[in-house]
Structure 1
Amino acid sequence: MEKQFSIYSERVEILRKRNMSIDNSSEEKILLNKYNYYNLINGYKDPFLYKGTSPNERYITGTRLSELEALLKFDTSLRLLFLREILKIEEIIKNQIVQSFYHYHLYKEPGNTEIERVNLHRDSEYLRRKYYDLTDLYTVYTNNSYGVVSTTVSFNHPRRNCTRWDRQSTYDNYIATVYRTLGQQRKNKNDSIKSYLEQHGYMPMWILMNVLTFGNVSHLFTLQKRDVQMDIINSLNLNSTPLISDDLSIVNTSRILQILSIYRNICAHNERFYITKIKVPIDDIYMNFGNKLPNTVGPTLGRRLNDSQRKKRLNARQGVYALIFIISLFMNKKELNDFVIEIRNEFKKLEYKLSTIPIDEIERFMGLNFDWFSLIKN
């Protein structure tokens, strides 16, 4: 059915018919004029909807617009909190890719000529395909009855249910993006880009990084030669203990960069954040992620998870908790503790504003309905 535009009074009546509590004399009605109807109602209604059998959508008795507003403000605060940390990581990643790329190709790669090394600061040189690994990579992802996610990596097509990493296409798209971005920056009169290009006629990688998105940078990591990738991983202290293969380290590091990029865009564009689900798997063995999830069971014990336990574990790995885990990899203990306190304070603020549902319901929607703040700090 097509959605028709409804005026203010009609919206009030629609919500009342759906069991929302809106008094004639209430200040709650003002909220419908204060916010975009779609952003407030459709964006934050889910936890307040009646869970029983009903032919039409209806709200839990007592639900007020101010509760939806409180959830919206909670979501906004979380976006700003997480964006702050993602931007810090973005800067770190960009800098390390540049450092590792030049360290390898200037001093370690014997196949590079002296002329190539002299010109490696120019985009006409460092963007050449010879500096990147464009071979196909295949991964097979499994989530077993213990709730353990693992990946098999192959450079040959292993079987039908594999995922192909088409690095040739990734490279082609990356090169097109770089030159399109440079053209846009020059056209938009970005002084730093324009002046450098006009004075020197090329764009060094370390300046280019300032105008590339986190998504572009995550693709750039996947294109690097193995030695460059491992230098990046080692320099960022993303070494798993116990040690895992280089292939698994590279694949999982690519995945966490992808997740950071997705959430970075959500935060930057003010999209709904708190219940976003990201189906990019992180292996349990990577940086001990599996032991930081709820319902961890060692396969050697011979006890499998039931459906409820597996669902809770899956919700944790696909929601905000996975992002908290990734951010924690770039923090020391004090920074992580302070970050966790900030997140929990936002939950406390929201809990004070809720009367229709408990804060536990929000935590369930977010995949945080377990002792996450203790597990993440272990």
Structure 2
Amino acid sequence: MTNKFMSTNFSPDKPFKTYSQQIDLLKTRNLTITDDEFAEHFLKVYSYYDLINGNVDSLLASHHPDKFKDNVTFENLVQIKFIEERLKSLFLSQILDIEKSFKTILAYHISENFGVNSGVDGYLTKSNYSPSQSKQVKTTMKKLRDIRDGTAMTSKHESKSIIYYRENHNHIPPWILVNELTFGELFFWYKCLPNDIKININSELMSQTVDGIDTELFIPMLDLLREFRNFFAHNSVLSQMKSDRQLNKSQFKKITLKNNNSIKPADIISQNNDINCCLIAILCLSNDYDQIDYFYHQLYALVNIIDEEPLSGNENFFSDIFNLSTRTLQLLEAYIK
């Protein structure tokens, strides 16, 4: 196969354009721009690609070449980007809170059941874990031992805490080791555990929000949050975020969010596994009501900053632009109230 990037007869299909040329191009695509200086400023802040190739599908009259619907303004695109950045930051912050709680609870139950010895016959011994996950157990324990010993590829980024324990103590307890792990590594460690310990962890992480706890529900929700955490951290486009992790709608019929009897999570779950599913997973896996209350008020602060311009005055703004449905927002509101 010929490598197209090695061609000596190169002519770019996406050539460089100055800010003025970018603005002229947007005008030819029916985008209303009344202040070229304003437009140039925000093209420097966000870039043409981030503004135009993001959450704008519902604003386009046609594709290839893109042509905007009448009366769509450059200010609308800036407003959408402003809200998107804050939404992603808010969702990521809540997932990080869940991750921290998960680390704390996981470390507690491993210490309680297997002890704190990180050496021979300690908590990293394969026989402690589920025999049905033998392949995963072998891979995970090898990874954890490498992190314990400072020989993992990520060890150059390890914390002072684990270095201190390695140099000054005779073991590295689980509550120190977990802080060196990615969400993915935590997830696979959890999957290796015997079922009775998993159930106890599920119960503690979900106890504040959910009736009808189910391990089969917990694992895919946790995995979905793991993937969305990566989406948010790598600045993916919000409206295009879709997880490969499948949430079984029939399983969600088993659960009810406490304080809310009118709207069910199963009513929200879609096959797209989009931002709505992410919000449901956040609700289900948040064990701190104050965190959820803060998340709710920050989210509705974003709703309230939408002004009265024709585009943003649309009551379906979040659904049309970001695929965050009104029904999902109502579920969150009903739970908080």
Taking structure 2 as the reference length, the TM-score comes to 0.77
Q: Is the 8 A contact 2:94 2:291 kept in 1?
A: no
Partner Cα separation in structure 1 for residue 36 and residue 253 of structure 2: 57
For residues 196-227 of structure 1, give each alpha carbon's deviation from its aligned partner in whole angstroms, at most 9, with x where no partner exists. 21223643221111111112111111111112
For residues 233-255 of structure 1, give each alpha carbon's deviation from its aligned partner in whole angstroms, at most 9, with x where no partner exists. 22334597457xxxxx2222111
Whichever residue aligns with residue 77 of structure 1, its letter is R
Matched, 1:278 2:243: yes
Partner Cα separation in structure 1 for residue 75 and residue 190 of structure 2: 44
Aligned to 1:71: 80
1:62 to 46, 71, 74: 71
Matched, 1:133 2:130: yes
Partner Cα separation in structure 1 for residue 274 and residue 307 of structure 2: 20
Aligned to 2:275: 320
Aligned to 2:314: 358
Aligned to 1:292: 264
Q: Per the alignment, in what secondary structure is the counterpart of residue 172 of structure 2?
A: coil
Count of paired positions:
311
Q: Is the 8 A contact 1:123 1:204 kept in 2?
A: no
How far is 1:100 from its partner? 1.6
Matched, 1:41 2:35: no
| Structure 1 pair 352–203 and aligned structure 2 pair: CA distance change class (3 A) | farther
Q: Per the alignment, in what secondary structure is the counterpart of residue 43 of structure 1?
A: coil
Partner Cα separation in structure 2 for residue 189 and residue 210 of structure 1: 9
How far is 1:96 from its partner? 1.0
Q: Is the 8 A contact 1:197 1:203 kept in 2?
A: yes
Q: Per the alignment, in what secondary structure is the counterpart of residue 86 of structure 1?
A: helix
For residues 63-82 of structure 1, give each alpha carbon's deviation from its aligned partner in whole angstroms, at most 9, with x where no partner exists. 22221111111111112222
Q: Is the 8 A contact 1:196 1:203 kept in 2?
A: yes
Partner Cα separation in structure 2 for residue 169 and residue 16 of structure 1: 55
Q: Per the alignment, in what secondary structure is the counterpart of residue 210 of structure 1?
A: helix
Aligned to 2:143: 176
Partner Cα separation in structure 2 for residue 223 and residue 237 of structure 1: 20
Q: Equivalent pairs: percent with the same residue?
A: 20
| Structure 1 pair 174–40 and aligned structure 2 pair: CA distance change class (3 A) | farther
Aligned to 2:168: 199
Partner Cα separation in structure 2 for residue 326 and residue 364 of structure 1: 22
Partner Cα separation in structure 1 for residue 132 and residue 50 of structure 2: 44
Q: Per the alignment, in what secondary structure is the counterpart of residue 371 of structure 1?
A: helix
Aligned ranges 1:83-98 → 2 under 5 Å = 83-98=92-107
Aligned to 1:209: 178
How far is 1:175 from its partner? 2.8
Unaligned runs of 5+ in 1: 107-119, 137-166, 244-248, 297-311
| Structure 1 pair 77–55 and aligned structure 2 pair: CA distance change class (3 A) | closer
Partner Cα separation in structure 2 for residue 66 and residue 134 of structure 1: 58
Partner Cα separation in structure 1 for residue 38 and residue 225 of structure 2: 39
For residues 237-285 of structure 1, give each alpha carbon's deviation from its aligned partner in whole angstroms, at most 9, with x where no partner exists. 4597457xxxxx2222111111221222233333333552224233323
Q: Is the 8 A contact 1:94 1:217 kept in 2?
A: yes
How far is 1:365 from its partner? 4.5
How far is 1:363 from its partner? 1.2
Aligned to 1:152: none
Aligned ranges 1:202-241 → 2 under 5 Å = 202-238=171-207, 241=211
How far is 1:292 from its partner? 1.9
Aligned ranges 1:102-121 → 2 under 5 Å = 102-105=111-114, 120-121=116-117
| Structure 1 pair 7–371 and aligned structure 2 pair: CA distance change class (3 A) | same
Partner Cα separation in structure 2 for residue 278 and residue 351 of structure 1: 31
Partner Cα separation in structure 2 for residue 336 and residue 186 of structure 1: 34
Aligned ranges 1:238-257 → 2 under 5 Å = 238=207, 241=211, 249-257=214-222
Whichever residue aligns with residue 107 of structure 2, its letter is V
| Structure 1 pair 37–225 and aligned structure 2 pair: CA distance change class (3 A) | same
Unaligned runs of 5+ in 2: 1-11
Aligned to 1:370: 326
Q: Per the alignment, in what secondary structure is the counterpart of residue 81 of structure 1?
A: helix
Matched, 1:6 2:3: no
Aligned ranges 1:256-271 → 2 under 5 Å = 256-271=221-236
Q: Is the 8 A contact 1:61 1:356 kept in 2?
A: no
Q: Is the 8 A contact 1:28 1:64 kept in 2?
A: no
Q: Is the 8 A contact 2:253 2:264 kept in 1?
A: no
Partner Cα separation in structure 2 for residue 205 and residue 337 of structure 1: 30
Whichever residue aligns with residue 100 of structure 1, its letter is H
Whichever residue aligns with residue 135 of structure 2, its letter is Q
Partner Cα separation in structure 1 for residue 54 and residue 323 of structure 2: 18
| Structure 1 pair 20–286 and aligned structure 2 pair: CA distance change class (3 A) | same
Q: Per the alignment, in what secondary structure is the counterpart of residue 29 of structure 1?
A: helix
Whichever residue aligns with residue 121 of structure 1, its letter is N
| Structure 1 pair 213–10 and aligned structure 2 pair: CA distance change class (3 A) | same
